[in-house]
Amino acid sequence: MKWTAALWLLPLFAFGQTAETPRFLAADVHVAAKTQNQGLRPPSGRGERYEIRNATMVDLIALAYTFNSTRVLGGPSWLEMDRFDVIAKVPPQTAPDVQKSMLKNLLAERFKLVLREENKPMPAYVLSAGPKKPLLKEADGSGETGCKPQSSNAAPGQPGVVRLMTSAGNAGGAPVQLTLVDGMVEMKCRNMTMAAFVEGMRGMLGANLGQTPIVDRTGISGIWNFDLKYSLGLIGPAGPIGSKFTIQEAIEKQMGLKMEDKPIPTAVLTVESVNQKPSENPPGTVAELPANATPTEFEVATIKPSDPEFRGGRFQMQPGGRLVAEGVPLQFLISRAFNTDTSERLTGLPTWANSTRFDVTAKAPGDTMMNGIDPETLAPMMLALLKERFKLTYHTEEKDLTAYSLVAAKPKMTKADPASRSWCKPPQQIPGAAPAPQGSQALICQNVTMAQFADLVRARTNGIDGPVVDMTGLEGSWDFRITYSPFFATQVNLAAARAAAGVAAGGPGGDAGLAAASDPTVDGVSIFDALEKQLGLKLVKTKRPAQVFVIDHIDQTPTDN
């Protein structure tokens, strides 16, 4: 950190609960079972039943206090690793704000949580005026307002030309197809105040600003027109100009402003004390809870073949429990029905299942509260839909599937302070952390054991197609950072196909094209190589028994809506 801890430290008050604070009518609190979906399942429910699944204590605090989780500080090491389920009974039609108050009271009573709100210097991006006159054009207020990515007219298949789908900058979140050249984003901003620009900057395509706060200190009033051109940084290295051209550099050179990483006084919640084990449920709690009314089918659903000209795909849960899918292969829908993230667990699929694409619009039952895609809740509804409309039938078997053992080669990690927080996160979730190099991803881990890392590595990285078991024999906890290419497997497959065809990436074949196409190190490093070269660990492929779903029958054409 670039600041001194004593600066700006201003305790405000300690959070406490009063007798007037609303309480759940009944609440079951317990340690969550391990599942393949290791992320938080945010509040959901039907009628009087309220659930939060797989939540860390930091998740619970952030939900209860409507607070950014990166600004929940202090506390014991387990705060971001141990996970809990909260299943509660609430009066019918309880407002979300009242539910949050109930959750606050539950945390205080069952975990003895004590928090303190204070101001501390925290990393932030500060937008300020530069030494010269800003390079902005005053707007007249006519036309649309906002920053929208622009699509190039370059023909697909040419060197450096890529297509992608994005909903960034599009009203309603509907995806649009963009054509980019050399991985460069061209953003057209019209009728923008500086406050509106700062507020929307994090959501701009390819901005890669993570969760670090952005603050407007330009002092510039009025509305303005301007354009920005910067590197996307997600699909591999860009061209010679764009390969290191970040949005911060674009703001300085093209807008005449500065965007600097500085610590600023920020409201934070500091955990003063909390119990790792919640108090026991009162007698009769489970009997008082409403029945588990997880919906088993959609209220209504329409299915149609995708437009053959549509490129890309969309799979989105909108507010109110409305599922919208566009250009989705039938195989993907089947994987959601069985809630599996590996194709090995699906067998018997016809060859056309991965190429025949559909648009699906469906609505969960009216009293089902869903925040985003909840795989556990979605699976039974999707399975029922496929059975009804595609006549899906299946059975289960046990087979030996791909798995991995994490072993130690020549460990290159740093012993951790056991009192520090335990976590593994991408740098964009850590305020002030150095971002991953252009075209790559990174994972930063603090105070984690190898057993914890083995549980997390598959979920937090790309390219590992089976469960991981710790066989390193390394004791204690460790600090480390690993950087890898998120699309390495795709790049290698494309390179092999191009090499076989004698075609380079966007041009005619020839010896030079073959050499470039067959050398995957041109575009990055796999997670397997990164583990060995950067951490001194290895993933050894093996086989372990697991349940598989065997598709006995599925129609290629759905029944009529």
- Looking at the structure, tell me whether residues 209 and 331 fall in a common domain: no
Give the span between the Cα atoms of 145 and 469, in whole angstroms. Answer: 51
Q: Is 503 part of a structural domain of the chain?
A: no
Per-residue confidence (pLDDT) for residue 233, from 0 to 100: 63
Most confident of 6-10, 371-375, 398-402: 398-402
CA–CA gap between residue 243 and residue 154 (Å, rounded): 19
Contact 317, 325 (CB under 8 A): no
Task: Please indicate, yes or no, if residue 243 is contained in any of the structural domains.
Answer: yes
140-157 pLDDT tens trace = 988 889 999 998 888 766
540 and 464 within one domain:
yes
Higher pLDDT: 349 or 435? It is: 349
Task: Verify that 192 and 240 share a domain, yes or no.
Answer: yes
What percentage of the chain carries pLDDT values higher than 90?
A: 56
pTM over 0.85: no
Lowest mean pLDDT among 69-78, 318-327, 386-395: 318-327
Which of 35-44, 286-295, 449-458 is predicted with the least confidence, judged by mean pLDDT?
35-44
**124 is a domain residue:** no
The pLDDT score that the predictor gives to residue 511 is: 29
Q: Rounded to an integer, what distance in angstroms lies between the CA atom of residue 422 and that of residue 28? A: 26
- 427 & 536 share domain: yes
Q: What is the pLDDT of residue 318?
A: 79
Residue 341: pLDDT band (50, 70, 90) is confident
Structural domain contains residue 140: yes
Return the structure tokens found at 102: 């109930």
pLDDT at 369: 61
Domain that holds residue 325: 300-390
Q: How confident is the model at residue 483 (pLDDT cuts 50, 70, 90)?
A: very high
Provide CB contacts within 8 A for 524, sequence distance 6+: 236, 439, 440, 484, 485, 487, 488, 491
Instruction: Indicate whether 158 pLDDT > 80.
Output: no
Of these ranges, 183-187, 249-253, 484-488, 550-554, the one predicted with the greatest mean pLDDT is: 550-554
Specify the 3-state DSSP secondary structure of 286.
helix
How many domains is the chain built from?
4
For residue 339, being part of any structural domain is answered with yes
325 or 511, higher pLDDT: 325
Task: Give me the sheet containing 414-415, strands edge to edge.
Answer: 414-415, 478-484, 441-448, 423-425
Given a cut of 80, whether residue 160 has pLDDT beyond it is no
Residue 9, pLDDT > 80, answer no
Report if residue 127 sits inside a domain: no
Buried b (16+ CB within 10 A) or exposed e, 431-451: bbbebbebbbbbbbbbbbbbe
Mean pLDDT of 343-353: 93
Q: Could you tell me if 367 and 463 lie in one domain?
A: no
CA-closest candidate to residue 556, choices 303, 377, 326: 303
**Residue 218 pLDDT > 60:** yes
Q: Please indicate whether residue 207 or residue 373 has the higher confidence score (pLDDT).
A: 207
Task: Judge if 538 and 410 occupy the same domain.
Answer: yes
- pLDDT at position 522 is 32
Does position 319 have pLDDT exceeding 90, yes or no? no
Specify the pLDDT at position 430: 85
Give the tokens for residue 219.
């002092």
Closest alpha carbon to 375 in 50, 36, 122:
36
* Token couple for 207: 């901005």
pLDDT value, residue 167:
64
Does a structural domain hold residue 58?
A: yes
Question: What pLDDT digit, counting tens, does each position of 277-306 carry?
Answer: 999 999 999 899 988 767 889 999 999 999
Query: Half-sphere exposure of 469 toward its Cβ, with a 13 Å CA cutoff?
Result: 9
272 and 165 belong to one structural domain = no
The answer to whether residues 195 and 85 belong to one domain is no
pLDDT of residue 494: 37
**Per-residue model confidence (pLDDT) at position 189:** 95
Tell me: do 33 and 99 sit in the same domain. Answer: yes
Quick one: average pLDDT of 293-320? 84
Whether residues 237 and 319 fall in one domain: no
Least confident of 97-111, 193-207, 236-250, 259-273: 236-250
| Co-location of 384 and 422 in the same domain | no
Confidence at residue 170, expressed as pLDDT on a 0 to 100 scale: 54
Q: Is residue 4 part of a domain?
A: no
- CA neighbor of 540 nearest in space, from 453, 470, 456: 470
Same domain? 114 vs 78: yes
Residue 350: predicted pLDDT: 94
Highest averaged pLDDT of the listed ranges 237-251, 287-301, 395-409: 395-409
Please write the tens of the pLDDT for every residue from 179-205. Answer: 888 888 999 999 999 999 999 998 888
Taking 70 as the threshold, does the pLDDT of residue 2 lie above it?
no
pLDDT of residue 487: 63
Average pLDDT of the chain to the nearest whole number: 83
